[in-house]
Every structure is written in structure tokens, then in C-alpha cells.
Structure 1
């Protein structure tokens, strides 16, 4: 009773407000509004219960193609199905003709239920009728229903005769008459439509307009009393669309949310869409998802579809494949055909979570049969069928599906076929021509990937002779077509140009590729914006924007690769060893997650920094090999083969595993130079076009150079010249080519060419190459080789913090190949501290050089320090010289006690001269040492034993 009393007060309040407040609508500025929020009621108690699930007729056929005849459905199901075809839905395309045919069949099957069929049939005829007779038939049905007391027929008749009804039957007087009857019968929609007509009538007085609108609104609110809370939704949509009342989206949301509390799934779906649309001031994804879940649980198949997609991709909600499959399966079972495609994509492993061929194929087949399938279905299915470990039947089926799509004009399908043949060409080069043809078809249609693949084929010699010019041409076209990687490569190519205008274009290309998501470009640009190198200006703001872009990437694999690229490029631009070591350390968090690429990059950076110890590399490559990484298998195998203490069987086994996994360098490493068929084996391997990178091509050249066949030497030169033409902006590529020239792959006479490649590699950030440049100067490899230039290169490396370079300087100074002075040596020793390599050997030599006047002005204090360090390093001769210095006071204060300590240590370390002098000293006694016959005999025996051994 209290609820009824509250409702009466609400109606009264609305009436008073409507009388006192002016209206604002698109029709007239003085139309009334309801200035109240939705009534604060217990909707679950007041409203009629809303079914938990939207009941829909199960679609077991396509009714647009199937003969309807005797419909084997209940009367209500016939009407529901006809209604769905009449409106169209996410399951079926709109078809008023099918709706009409279903209703006629239902009327024929259920003549006793004529009253529930005639109004839906009249509506179908109103929309689908093509003749006046059919429209008259609709009119007769409606008049019959109205005459039988069906007040709903009055509303439909008002629409039938109205301005939106059939033009042949238009009669606005009749329309107004029947809508007024509908309004008087308290039909809410009739009241609204009648109010609309009145407000549009320029002859109607304002009081009549206000009364009509007020009555319509009050009629809607009064429905709540009767338990029909759909009025809440209707009022919400009036505010949302600005019908009769001013458009107030926030007010509309309040009314719609009130109705959603009743559990109505359609309203929940509408709210889900509204909260992510531009109709509201602030998009609220969390609320949108909440209402989407309500709609999905309520049986709305379109909501199930949307929610399933969200869970599959991890967009807006945490990725959850079980929930994705749950909702998409429900949508699929409800007849929503696009859900089949998404289920196929999930089971194909597109979003992660593993590949399940047995489940994916049926869904792909169903998606292929859908008449309104997306054009991506054949592409995805073809790509899936041709995936890893595909059977011959699957590949043939994939090509057949894709060829049909290509024939229909899909350049993406041509591109996919090209990729299939390219993969097959790795085993049988005859397929490469087919691949090139399909890539050409795709590229000519503007397909960026097709153009990029053609660039790769010309670069690798797949299906055509290698052509750097054609490769670059197609790469540029691919960039124009939108290939992000090609934009990056084109940008790099432009950066090599002499003209600043071209380099400026290159910088723009690289920045575009970075913000389009190319991991390689991201790392390149970030590192150079941070440091202002390679003709980039420092740009902290842009750097932060790009780093924020990386952190917000939804594709975690893309984000991971970008992080690795940033570390690698920061390493490249760093000029100090400590800065390079910081970047190497930055890989550890990624390595701890099991990232094999990070572990491999660590090995590469350690080598480029000159900090790679054999033990460290062995540890890294063994870990990679155990993880199944082909690169790790190959490098670990090579380490085992180089260790003569190891059985070569194990090393070759790892190389074979790497080769079986497709590693090109492992394949060519297994070629035995002594095998008479080695040349043919290499030719077969290279014919498949797997030598696509500079590094791979250089390795191929190296293997050719080891073969005794004279033709192999020419092939080695050919492949090396090809690598030479391809290397430009990559420090590692330039180093690989330079190292090949240095090692005589192109013959001893051309070893000097290595210097230019090493210098270019250094300019691009590979500081460790200074060691190779210095060694070339010391060995007289370069055109203008000199020890002074060797020293200059090593000093640069030492200045970056490289201890190996400092030790190299010490050893070369000791061996008299590099000139120096004591202060320079002392500076190097202070820098090295305890990390001096072989101090016993080299510091003794340096001390002798200074004593002999070959290392600057004599520095006694330095000589004593060097000898002491050498002696502590275990050098017996340095100990003996210290004995002499302390005994005679040469360069240091005379101290016989310390002198005989060093003499004893020298003798104990195996110096026969020291043993003889100790024997004599103990025999006769000297200042600071008393005679001792026993010790004299002992050391004399040691001396004789040492002399005999020598």
C-alpha cells in the first residue's frame, strides 16, 4: 500500500512540475520536461520479473534459403522468428519477405490463434507490401483487430496512416484519430506518438501540446505502478534522443540504469555501448564492461560476442581464454556466426594459449560457410592450415582457399600464398618462382608485405639472382605502401646518403617507423634522441613520448622486442665501457624471465664490449642450447669442437641439432671441406636463399674459402663482395665483412680492405673494433700501418674503460712494439690495479727497458715498483733483481735483510743463480747473513739440481 501511495505522490509531483516548468525540445522551446530522477523503488519487488535469459528461436537453418512451408515451430516461436527477420539482428540479415512468409505459414498452421498473428502480419505487409492490394490486406487485418477490442491495433493503425507509413495509404486525419484512441487507451507508445503529432501541428494550441506531452510522460511513469518498468527505458531513450523533452544524456543514463536494475539485458547492453561512446562526457570502460557482463549473462548474444572478444584479446579486461570460449560459444550457439571465426582464432593460438587443431578446424569450416563472413576468414584459415608441421593435405587445402580469395581480388590472399610457397622453397627451390609470382601480384596491388617479401627475395637470391638494387627498390615501395619494417630499413638506407636532405628524410622515416611500433626503429631512435648522435638532435620530450608509447603497447611480444632493441642501441651509442656494461646489466631482468633473445644479446654485447670470457660465453651458450635455442646449440657446439680435450662427437651433435632446427650457420658449419661433394652441398644450401643476412653471407664466404676447389675461392669472393655491397648502417655487419677480409677470405692481397670496414663499424658504435684496428697496425696489414697508430687506437679503447686494451698496451710496450714512458706505464698500472695480466712477465721486461734506457728517462722508483709487482706475480728474475737493488742500494735504500728475503724467494722459485749465491753466502757468511753450513749444502744441492735440469 505504501508503494502505491508513493507512486500517487510521484505522479502528482510530475503533474505540478510539468505545469510550472517550460519544455525545451527540437520541436518547440516550451515543451515540458520531467525534472525528477527515476523513482527510488525496489524494482525487483515492484516490477514484473525479467527473464534471466533472452529466449530466441534456435536457428537450425538459413530461413532465407530454406522453403518455409509447414513451419514446425510453436506459434510464439514463429512470431519471434518473424520479428527477428523483420528487424534484422546480429544473427540474421533483415528480410521482411521472410518475416511475412513465416507469419502466413504460422497463421495457416494455427488458425485458432489468429488474433496473435494478424498485427505482426499487418506490420510485415506494411514494410514488405509492394501492391495496394497487399496494403489493403494489412489495413483489413488492423481494422479487424481494432474492431475486436485490440487497443494495440489503434497504435499500429496510427502508424499505418501516418507520415512514416506507406505513401499510398497516408491519411494524417485517420492517423491522428487512431493515435488519439491509442493515447486515450493509455498505450504509452500511442501517447508518445500522439504527443509528437500534436507538437508538430502548427495549428495546435500550446496548452494542447503541453497536455499531450505531459500525459505521455505521466502515462509512462504510471506503468511502473502496474509493474511494467519498461517505462524507465522509454523515458531514458526520450532524454537520450531529445524526443518530446530536451536531450539530456546524463538524465537518460539515470533512467536507463534504473531499468537495468530490473535485470533487463537489452538495456544493460545499451548502457555498455553508451559508456564507451562519445555521447557521454567521460568514457567509463569499467562501467561499460560491467553492463556488458550483465547483458551477456542475460542471454544477449551480441553482448556475449563482444565480451568473448574482450577476454580473447585482453582489451578492457584481463585476458582469459576460458571465459572467452564460454561467451563466444554461447554467441555461436545462438546463431551469431562471427563468433565461429573468433573461436577458430582462439583455438588456432592467435592470441596465445596454445594451438588446438582439432577444435579450430570445425569452427573455421563453419566460419567459411557463413554467407556474411568477413574477408579475413579465408586468410586466417589458409594461414592456420599452412602453419608449422602442416600436412600435405592441409597445405593443398590452404592454397585452394587462398587462391579463391586471391581470384576475388584479395592481395592479402596472394601474399599468404606467396609465403606458403616461400616456406616450401626452403626445401625445394623450384617453389620460389611461384612465391615470387604471388608476391608480385600482391605488391602490384599495393600490398606492403608482398613488396617487402619481394625485397627480401631479391636480397637473398630466392627465385632470382641477388640484386641489392632491386631489393632496395621494392623495400622503398613497401615503405610507401605502409610496411613498418620497410619504413625502418628505408630510413637506415637514407641515413647513409651524403646529402643532408636525404639524411633528414631518413630521420623522419625512422621516427615514423618507431611510432608505428617497429621495435628496431624504437631502439634506434630512442638511443639517438637521448644522446644526440648520428645526426639526431637531443630530444628528451620526444624520447619520453616514445618510451611511454612502448610501455603502453598491448602486444607484449612487440613490447619485449622494443625493450631489447632499446638496450642494444643504447649500448651502441655509449662511448664509455662502464656505460656499455650498464646496458648489459639491464638485460638481466629479462634474462631472469627466461628470455632467450635477451640471453643471446648478452653474449653478443659482451663480445662487442671486449668483456666476453670463454667461461661466460660457454655458460650462456650452454643455457641457450639446453633451452632449445638453435643459435645457442650452434655456438655451444662450436665451443665443444674447439676444445681439443672434448670428444668432437658431442660438438657435432649440437651443431646437427641446430641445423635440424633450421639454423643456416650450423648447416654450413657441418660441411666437411675434405668431402669431394662439399661444393655441391654448399651450393644446394645457398640455393634455398637462406643466406639473407650479411652475417650469414659472410659465413658462407668463409666456408667456401676453406675448400680446396679453385672454383670455391671464386665463390668465396662473390659472396663476400655481396656482403660488402649490403653492409652499410649496421656496425656488426661491417665488422663481419671487415673480419672476413682481414682473415684472407678474399685473399691475402686484399686484407687491407678490412681497415675501412672496421673504421666504419667503430663510427657506428662498435668500440671494441679498435682492438682489431690496433692489431692490424701492429702486424702491418693496413696501407699506412704504424705502431704509433696502433697505440692511438688502443689508447682510445683504454679511455673508454677497457682493461683489455690497457693490458694490451702493457704487453706491447714490454715487447718493444709500442713506445712509451714511465709515467704512461704507471697510469696504466694504476687503472688496472690487481687486474694486470701476466705482471711477472711484462713488468720485468718494462723494468729492464727503463734500466737500459729504452723506455724514457730512467725512473728508479718506478723500476722498484715494477719489479716488486713482477716479483709478487711470481717472476724469479724480478725477485733476483730486487735482491740486487736492496743489497747494493741501487735505486733504493740499502737493506740487506730485505735483499736476502728476495734472494731466498727467487731461489725457491727456481732461479739457479739465486740458489748458487745463497749457497756461497751461507758458506762464507756476508754482511747481514751468518754462515750456516747446513743451508750452504742445501742450496748448493738445489743449484746443482737446477743446473742439471737446465
Structure 2
């Protein structure tokens, strides 16, 4: 048979407690197999193999990329983790304390309770915890590796036996020596069951416990047995038997045993060493395969052919090593056992060719352990080309002898479809054969198959039944899965207290999954009082074994400051440990930390790099975050198409945030044609998962009638769904519904109540709206000081609306002293954020010379900034500037163009001015009908100018029949709003008796209303009435006063009449001056 040479990767350990120490001596470098992916041809090593070499390995420091996890049928990760090799380099493995498996307890910490931000804008926030349901293991089914070297987790019976052994340690050791001498002399296993004459009543129990400890791979006990035979203490001296026992302990990583093995190997060549010679000073052992002649295998493996050349002392080794076998063929099998033990020795040194030769010598004579190990070598491709068919052949040889381990391994082959078509039914059949012999792993895996419904209908009751059988033998996985079933309420009442009880045993034995799950239970307060400090303790236990889930959660706890002081640097450290094992959640969250500059410098490029690592493993949150990067142009050019592509990847996995953002893109027409129907479709996908922001946006769609008929009742229904989850947007929107009485009776008190809910979360729009209510006195007493207080809250968060309104408060002196300089300062803050209203207001300041010199050019510049954003007020004012020739040449055509831009947005003042343009024929042919049309558009919005102009159209009969009654009706509409020009015109109608009886007293009354607002024409008219004794007693001094008021405003002829009145003894006659109204 030909063998391929070993192909290995060097690894060495670094203690985690001293990671900066100098690298280990080269003699401490060990090697693990390199595998090749049959499809991608990538070369890699297995984390499981690393853990076999360094049992206390935590994580790997690795420059090369981690090959992504694969996923099983249940969507859980299939281990082992594959790690890409680094040719020519040694990989550093961080390890914990090697002396025992007890995790180092972290120092106790003060618990800190801190409210997490309700929402981190458009980012996937660090999740607080993984659900327990995602962690129950099925690796025994999915992993074909079986090492026949005992169970890592002793059963309760074994623990009880160990207690008896501890009580009778010395006595049992003494009688064990005597028993071994008898065994070596008589080769009769029945001596174990013959009660002796001396010793305490539980001597035989103690002896049985001692021998069980030896047989069950208790390394310390095995070294002791080797010492007894090496030194010949009350037993027949035999270095050969000693070597066998030292090797069994050495294979488990016992450094004392490894040193003794090397010393004895050296003594074979030099005859100078003892078992205590330091192994670092010894050469590597050379393989010698000529010690034993080997017979050809029989066709009947149940009756194997035995070697006839048996080393005399090998009998003793076999007698003790296989004391539990119910066979009397001890003498004939001793050499076979020795060959198999030698094969194990070569396997531990990765000398696969020598190991295969030894295993074949034993296996061809029907030795089950050797047949199984040859099967494993073909299964894994160790020293031979991977060949599942040959692996199956060797497993069958052992299974045909009734070996439960081989039957179990055959079930794995059928489960995975290795060398045979995948067949869960056959996998179950072979598992049953092994389970019926009491094989705990088989019983456990039958439970897993019923749990997952693989090859059998899903049946939690049967799963529990099989888990119980395995658990009764101390199977840690079964204990763990029973705990998970109680956590999830699978065919048993959900009972976290019972779950904790079942999880405790495997956790205390070092099962990382169980330790992790207990940590989750303390974190969530399930079955135990919530206790972040204890959660951290249990997570540390699991993390110290390299559990990526636990490392990730520790990172999260440091990130959030739960159970420990918030520490982004430590969060990053723990997340890196998990990420270096390929944990996609950790990789994604490291991206978030670089994205937000938490614990590391702000770096979008590195954020993208980490997001990509996770996204390449199919991590939906990372795919979503990459979409956000392209959507917002963070570290990459804006690219809505790429954003959509990444959002779709995440959305197709059901990621609600991505579904929501796709809805936003269709809603706003970003990178896709605007499509409210599609937006609604994507919002619904996210909303159906309870995503509050999507529910809120559906409310907006119904509120505004976008893609659906406007329906305030439905809008309120969706807003409530989101608000009940604490969504501040929705709470604010409900406040607006009550404020405006949309779908509910108008109720300012309730509006304030909902605005406060949102504002208490720091929602700037709600804070702004509360300021509006105090400003207007809606539902609360008018209070400009409180309005300013709420505006400052929002403005301090950078809200441009609030900053602009603070400018208005200083501009108008409301709640603060009148201060144009401060007004300008706040307007600039908002304008620098692109706030169109603030830009418009700055234009007004320059236009009117408020706090700055008059500057029509600068006014035009700021108006244009706002107008280019579609701000109608700015478009209107630009129209006025061209209409009046302010800062630009007068241009009625351009004025009309800008008025139309504003009017098309429904801006009433622009519509009214377009009416004036047609009324007066400015830049367009005079057209009273069109003038009336535009006036009506503005008037229907309550524009006082337009209503007054319509009154004048009826008064003068322009484009409509002259109708004084309708004229006074339209004047009254606007006059009742305090519009001075309409009040003056009504005065003219009473003065002239047009449409109403002539009435100078009433005329004087309406003139006074207009004059008190500074209307110069009305002021002059009052002077005339005093001068002519019309409706009042003639009073020249009073007439002079009113003429002067009008003159002070530059009213034509007012100064002339004032002068004439003061110099003429004879009153001038005034006729017909009041015969016109103002348009």
C-alpha cells in the first residue's frame, strides 16, 4: 500500500495572560494536517485539529482570511471552522491556563444599568444577545470524527465512583498493585470479581473505581499505572507495558506522560534514559515495523486470526488495558493490542505511514479499534488519499463485530452522504444499532434527528426520550439539548428554571455551549434574576474555551456597558477574537465601530472592509450596512444602484431594515423611478415583521394618500402600531393628527401629550412642534420663553428648522429682546445646513436692511439659494425684485416667470400678483378674465390682496359686470381680517354711496380703521372730511394733523394741502378727490 507524505502546518501556543512574550522555542512547534477543498482547491487547517493539539486553545492569531462557515439543514453553522493556511509561517494559537479545564473567573464588577439608544440611524445596531434557540448543537451527527479514547464528560455514576476512589485512594492503590500482579501472573480477568479475605468492605468498589479511571482515559491514573510497571513496585517490571500506559496519557496532552514516552524511546536506542529525562533533550523516535509477524485476515471478522509471536510482557499490558472486555482471549490478543497502541503513538506524531502499518497489522487480525482508526484515516485523508468508500469498508468490518463506535461512524457517513448517497433513514438505522448497545452519542444523535426532523418526522417527545437515555449516561450534549427544549417549550411546558438545572451539569463540566446559554439566561433574566455580572462570568467561561458566540456577547456587553463599565476598546478586543474565528456578527459590528468611530478612529474604508467580510458569509446586517454606505456616500461615491443591490441581498433574507430602506428608495425615487405602490409593498414586508419605522411610514402613506387612498383612520392605526413600540416618529405624527384634527377630533392637549412622548426621546421635530404650540398658545398658555426653550433643545441637536425659528424669535423680539444680529447668526446656522427658509430670511434681512446695510444684490443671492430648492417665498420675492427693478433691471417677463414658479406650488401671493400682471397688462397682454382667474385662486386660499382686488374688479366692472354689492362683499371678507386697503375702499363706498346709502359717519369709521394701520390715503381722506365738515364738525387743526401724517409717508399733495391750510385764511374747495378705490 502506498502512502502520501505528511502535509502539515506548524502551530505554536502563546499564553493569553502574557501575549507579548517572546515567541516559544522552535522545539515547541507542533503540526496539524493541511486539507484541500475539492471544489475551490483552497488549502486549510481545521480548528478542531488545533484544539486536539492544544486542548486549552482559545483563538488563532491569523493574517490570512478565514474561509466562511458552511450552513446545515437547520441553518446552524457546521463546524469545524476552516482556516486558510499561511505557507512557510507558524500560526500563533492563544491558549488559556493549561493546568485544568476550569475557566478562570473574571474579577467581580459593578453592575451598570444604562438605557440603550432606541434607534441608531440607518445602521444595524449591535444586537444585545443571540437567541438561545440558535445554539443547540448537532455536531456529533455532522462531524464524522470519532476518536476511541473515552468520553470527555463523565457520567453521574462515574462521578460517584470517583468520589469513592477519592475516599479510599491509598488503600485502593495498594490493592490495585496486588490485583495487577495477579492479573499479570494468571491472565485471568475473573480475579477482579473474586472477593479477597482482607481489606475494608468497599475495597472492591474502590478497586473497580480505580481501574475504571484507568480505562476511561484518566491521564493521571494512567501515568501512575505506567510508573508501577516501569519501577516494578509490587508488580512485574515491564518498560513495554509502562510505555503503553504513558502513551495513552500522553495522547491526552499530559506533559509528564509525554516526557516519559520520549525518555523510554531514547532508552530503546541508548539505554541511558529514564522516564523523567526532559523531552526537549531527546531525539525523535524512529519507526521500526519489524517487531511482530502478522497473519492474514480471516474472511470472518468475528473470529480473527491471532499472532503466534507474543512478547511475554505484552500479556500484562493487555490484561489491564482491556479489563472491561468480556473475552478470555487475553493472551492471544496481547500482541494485537500492542500493535494498535504503537499505531496510536505514531498517529500522535503525525507519522501516518507508520501508524497505518501498525493499524493494519492489528486490523487484519480483526482488532476493532484498529479497524475503526483505519476507517478514520481514510475518512479524513490522513496519510492516504481521502476515500469514503474505503472508510466505509473498514467501519463495516468493525461494525460487523457489533462495535457500537463503528456503527455510529457508519451512521455519520449516511447522514453526510460521504461515500454513499445521503440517506437519513439508513443513518437512523445504524444509530439505532449503536444506541441499542447503550452508545450515548448514538442515543444523543437519534434525539437530534427527531428534534430536527431529519429522516424521521419531527417529534419532540421522542427527541426528549432519546436525550434522556444519553443524559442518564452523562452525555453533556443531551443534558444541554434537554435544557434547550425547556427553554423553547418543545413538547414540554416552557420552564427556564428546569432549563437552567439541565444546563448546569454540562456547563460545569466545561461545555462551552451550555456556559454560553446560561450566560444568556442571566442576561435576559430567564429562570434566574437578571444579573449582567453573572452573565459576564458565564460568557467568560465559554469565551476562554474559544467560543465565538460568548466572545461576541462579551464584546457587546462592553459596548453597551452592561455588567461592566462601557469600554469600546475592550469591546473591540473581544469582537476581534470572535471575528478572527470567522464570526460574521462580530465582523459586522467591528465595521459599525469603525463606521461610528467608537473605540477606534473613524474609518469608513475599514468599516467597509469588515462589512464585506461578514457580507461575504451572507450576513444580512452587513449587507444592509454596505447598502447604507453607498446610499449615503460614506467612504465610497454615492451610488443608489449599488445601495439597492446590497439592500436586496439583505432583504431577500428577510432583513427588515433593508426592506424598509428599499421602500424609502421607491418612496423618494432614489436610484429607481418613484413608485409609491412598490414603496408600500416593501414597507409592508418590514412592517409585518414588526419593524416600527416601516409601520410609521405606512401611516404616512395613508396620511398623505401616497399610493393608497387617503385614509386618516388607517394612518392612525399604523402610527399606533409603531408608537406602541416607542417609535418617536410615529408618536410625533399622532400628535400632529390630534393637532390638526385628522381622523380624530382636534385636541391640543392630546397633541401635546404625544409630542412630549417623542420629545422625551430627543425627537427634534416633536420638540419643535411643542415650541410652536407655546408660540401660538395652542392647548397651553402662550409663552414665548417656553417656546424658545423647546426650540433650543431641538437646535442644540442641529435641527435646522429650530435654528431658523430661533432666528425669527430674535428677528421679531418674541420671548427675547429684539436683536437682528442674533437673528442673522441663527439664520446662518440653519442656512449653512441648506435650510431654504433660513436662506430666504437672510435675503429679507438684506432686502429690508434689517441689522445689515440694504443690499439688493446679496438679497437676490440668498433668495436664489432658497429658490433653487423650490422655496416658493423666495421665488415670489425674486419676481417682486424684477417687477420693481430692485437690484436688477426691471423685467416684467422675468417677474412673471418667477411668479409662475411660486404660483405653481400654490403660493397665494404669487397667484395674486399674476392677477395684477394681467389686470394691468404688465409683461403680458391685458386680460381681465385671466386676472380674475388668478385672483380667485389666491382668494380661495384666503389671500387678502386677491380678495380686495376681486372687490375692485366688481366695483369697476373689469371682466365682470359692475356690481357694487359683490364689491362690498369681497371687501368685507378681507377687511374683517384687518386688511387696511379693503377697509379704506369700504370707506370710499360709504362716502360716495356706492352699493350702500351714503353715510359720512360710517365712511369716517372705516377710514379710521385703515388710517390707524398707517394707510396714507385713509389718513388724507380723514383730513379732507375734517376740512369739509363731512360727517364731523369742521376742525382745521384736526385736518392739519391728518394731512401731516399722510405727508410724512410721502403721500402726493398731502404736504401741499397742509401748507395751503396753514397760510390761507379762506378754505380751499376740494371736490371729487375721493372718487377712486385702490386695487
Q: TM-score, normalization: structure 2?
A: 0.42
Of Structure 1 and Structure 2, which has the larger fraction of its residues in helix? 1
TM-score, normalization: structure 1? Answer: 0.47
Choose 1 or 2 for highest CA Rg.
Answer: 2
Indicate the structure whose relative CO is greater, using CA pairs within 8 Å and at least 6 residues apart: 2
